[in-house]
Amino acid sequence: MAQATPIFFSCILCLVYGAYGFYLPGLAPVNYCKATERSETCKSELKMYVNRLNSEKLVIPYEYHHFDFCSAVGDSPVENLGQVVFGERIRPSPYELEFLKPINCKTACKKTYSGGDEASEKKLELLKKGMALNYQHHFIVDNMPVTWCYQVEDERQYCSTGFPMGCYFRISQTQQDTCSINIRVGDNMAYTKPKTYYLFNHLDFTITYHSGIKEEWGTSFKENGGRIISAKVVPRSIKHDPSSPDCGSKIPLDIPAENLAHDQKLDVVYTYSVKFQENNTIKWSSRWDYILESMPHTNIQWFSILNSLVIVLFLSGMVAIILLRTLHKDITRYNQAYFQIESGEDAQEEFGWKLVHGDVFRPPRKGMLLSVLLGSGIQVCFMTLVTLAFACLGFLSPANRGALMTCALVLYVCLGTCAGYVSARIYKSFGGEKWNFNVFLTSMLSPGIVFSLFFIMNLIFWAKGSSAAVPFSTLIALLALWFGVSVPLTYIGAYFGFKKRPLEHPVRTNQIPRQIPEQSFYTQAIPAIVMGGVLPFGCIFIQLFFILNSLWSNQIYYMFGFLFLVFLILVITCSETTILLCYFHLCAEDYHWWWRSFLTSGFTAFYLLIYCIHYFVTKLDIEDATSTFLYFGYTLVMVYLFFLLTGSIGFFACFWFVREIYSVVKVD
């Protein structure tokens, strides 16, 4: 134990350190220089891209051109599968930037809205709706998000990866909104006119770069060269004179909530300015740190997280030790009674879990469904394990957009072999003979449920014209991965599973089932299942908050080291909780443990659902019925996959436990 403790804490430190591996190994930095000095080793043009716009009040993102902003001509970056499924739509922007070339006030485009023109009024109303719902821009420069930084309540700087397209000031300002925040970041304009929209049509960009000699890269820059460290923006609303825009004006562009008069016109001039700052104290490899460190709630004490994880781990160890000591006494007494019978001595009658040795391996009801769920659960388990391992190594960093989703999808498809093999082996051990139907259900049931929910939500996105709507070609590609790769691999795995001999159990099963005595309250099925998910859920709810924030509050999740550690503790806790409850049931002469072991740890997913409902009510500001449906649609997908994951972990732990205890006890 003394030697294991330093090793354990070393593993924790390695996992925590893995949380800070942000960059994909081999991702090279880009060198920039002035246009007069550009060459094959450095670029002068800073390409700025625009991504989708989203809002925390409406779970429906839109592409940049959905609103009437400035359009641009150019090639869009190639998006991977994960980006398309998540709804990212990266397009060229109308903002032209050149390295070390400051811009004081440049016009991007001009838009005119006329009262009485139906098309014009529709575009203006769409802009107003976007400002009222606080839709956020997401710009990208040198593969870095353009951030909007401001002070929050505790005098800490928060850097958001998005910035608002505008704000709407109602009759009174009872809570902090984007209008008040803009004043705090140094824009001293008065956005306080009641029932007025303020469109942020001017952007002040600040590009920070690192110049000089960087020994860690072995590269010497030119005098006017460097690498981009950060890109920040301050949005402002300016009422420009269309003939001569003035970016220093303090008069905001106020748009009344009422429609324009019949002959009234509204001119909107989009402008921007750019300045460059040199900073040689921040390394290029650490340029994401200022974003990640400013994320809300990431300043909680790391020691408290580690402390809670270690407590859960040692609690699980204590449960295991108690269980093993009790089992050791049981096995010793059972074997002593067996040898007394062999020697002709009077022995006590059998008692406890040894009494059900002739029924403990009796095949359960609905064995086909159980084997199918177990195969799908192992598929999800291995997918999660490998994905988290890659994430801890830095392969799935924030700089590699969409990599996490792409990795998970590809792994899930390729692990169809494991699903088919496990399902076939378990089903054959139950004495099943309908192997064709078993393989069909394994390859269709769980993927079909997930794809059906995904397709229904995609129809809603299509109807709303959202960027989250997956194109038809991508849906065909997903179906091709399912039917062309996953299904054949499942059949291959099932073929090898059915070719093997059935699992040999350590004891024989009686022909006549034993009658189960009346059970006490805590050994009944439903109370035990409900209690079984409490401890595993206690291991994950801290990290669950961060995960939900990254999904629904546009925050970057990067603590993969802690997440991997939590996953390992979840596996241990699910296993030991299920084993402990299974032992109690067997001691009470209840041998129906097959489904119960799956549902005991799988019930953790129910607590996950309750927590997601709590998060929706307390943390999100969603009132739209469509967005509510979409939120709970994605939540059901997550809960179902988590149910398969935890249920399979508990079942196989209990399966191993039952086989072990009945293999070491002497049976007549």
Tell whether the model's pLDDT for residue 218 goes beyond 60. no
Specify the pLDDT at position 300: 52
What's residue 4's pLDDT? 39
pLDDT at position 522: 74
Alpha carbons 199 and 224: distance in angstroms, whole number: 36
Instruction: Look at 181 and 279; give whichever has higher pLDDT.
Output: 279
Give the number of other Cβ atoms within 10 Å of residue 278's Cβ.
12
Find out whether 136 and 53 touch, Cβ atoms under 8 Å. yes
DSSP string, 25-47: TT-----EE-GGG-BTTBB-EE-
pLDDT of residue 565: 84
Q: Which of 232-241, 263-272, 341-350, 623-632 has the lowest mean pLDDT?
A: 341-350
Which of 231-240, 266-275, 278-287, 551-560 has the weakest average pLDDT? Answer: 551-560
pLDDT band with cut points at 50, 70 and 90 for residue 651: very high
Which SS3 state, helix, strand or coil, does residue 235 take?
A: strand
CB of 129 closer than 8 Å to CB of 275: no
Position 160 confidence tier, pLDDT thresholds 50, 70, 90: confident
Type of residue found at 502: P
**More reliable by pLDDT, 323 or 208:** 208
Q: Do 590 and 523 meet the contact criterion of CB atoms below 8 Å apart?
A: yes
Contact 556, 161 (CB under 8 A): yes
Report the C-alpha gap between 173 and 470 in whole angstroms: 38
Rounded to an integer, the average pLDDT of 575-598 is: 88
Let me know if 171 is exposed, middle or buried by CB neighbors in 10 A (0-12, 13-18, 19+). Answer: exposed
pLDDT band at 178 (very low <50, low <70, confident <90, very high): low
| Confidence grade of residue 194 (pLDDT, cut at 50, 70, 90) | confident
DSSP 283: -
Phi and psi angles of residue 439, each rounded to the nearest 5 degrees, phi first: -65, -40
- Residue 204's pLDDT is what? 94
The more confident residue out of 488 and 565 is 488
Residue 89 tokens, joined? 């739509």
Residue 53 per-residue DSSP state: B
Distance CA 163, CA 348 (A): 77
Instruction: Tell me what pLDDT residue 409 has.
Output: 93
pLDDT at 451 over 70: yes
What's the confidence (pLDDT) of residue 297? 55
Does 384 have pLDDT greater than 90?
yes
Q: What is the distance between the alpha carbons of residues 465 and 61, in angstroms, rounded to a whole number?
A: 9
Sorting pLDDT into bands at 50, 70 and 90, what band is 431? confident
Beta bridge partners of 196: 169, 256
Query: For the segment 296-320, what is each residue's pLDDT rounded down to a tens digit?
Result: 554 454 655 675 677 677 767 777 7
- One-letter amino acid of 442: T
Round to whole Å and give the CA distance between 18 and 81: 25
Q: Label residue 172 by pLDDT band (50, 70, 90).
A: low
- Is the pLDDT at 253 greater than 50? The verdict is yes
Residue 173 has pLDDT above 70, yes or no: no
For residues 426-446, give the mean pLDDT: 92
Top-confidence residue, 358 or 90: 90
**Residues 543 and 566 sit within 8 Å (Cβ to Cβ):** yes
Work out the average pLDDT over 585-604.
Answer: 90
Residue 283: pLDDT band (50, 70, 90) is confident
* Phi, psi of 163, deg, nearest 5: -140, 150
d(CA 124, CA 22): 40
Pick the closest to residue 503 from 644, 361, 645 (CA basis).
Answer: 361
Residue 182 CA: distances (Å) to CA of 245, 303, 540: 21, 35, 36
Q: Which amino acid is at 397?
A: S
* Residue 553: per-residue pLDDT: 81
Return the pLDDT at 335: 65
pLDDT-derived band at 6 (thresholds 50, 70, 90) equals: very low
- At 474-503, the pLDDT tens digits run 999 999 999 999 999 999 999 999 998 888
309 or 175: which carries more pLDDT confidence?
309
Q: Mean of the pLDDT values across residues 619-638?
A: 91
Report, as an integer, the average pLDDT of 494-523.
83
**pLDDT of the residue at 217:** 41
What is the mean predicted confidence (pLDDT) over 537-566? 83
Look at residue 21 and tell me whether its pLDDT is greater than 70.
no
Beta bridge partners of 1: none
CA angle, corner 380, sides to 408 and 640, nearest 5? 105
Kindly report, residue by residue over 123-158, the tens digit of the pLDDT. 999 999 999 888 999 999 998 999 998 877 666 778
Q: Is a pLDDT exceeding 80 seen at residue 185? A: no
Give pLDDT tens digits for 37-87.
Answer: 766 778 888 999 999 999 988 889 999 999 989 988 888 888 888 888 888
Secondary structure, 3-state, 332-396: HHHHHHHHHHHCCCCCCCCCHHHHHCCCCCCCCCCHHHHHHHHHHHHHHHHHHHHHHHHHHCCCC
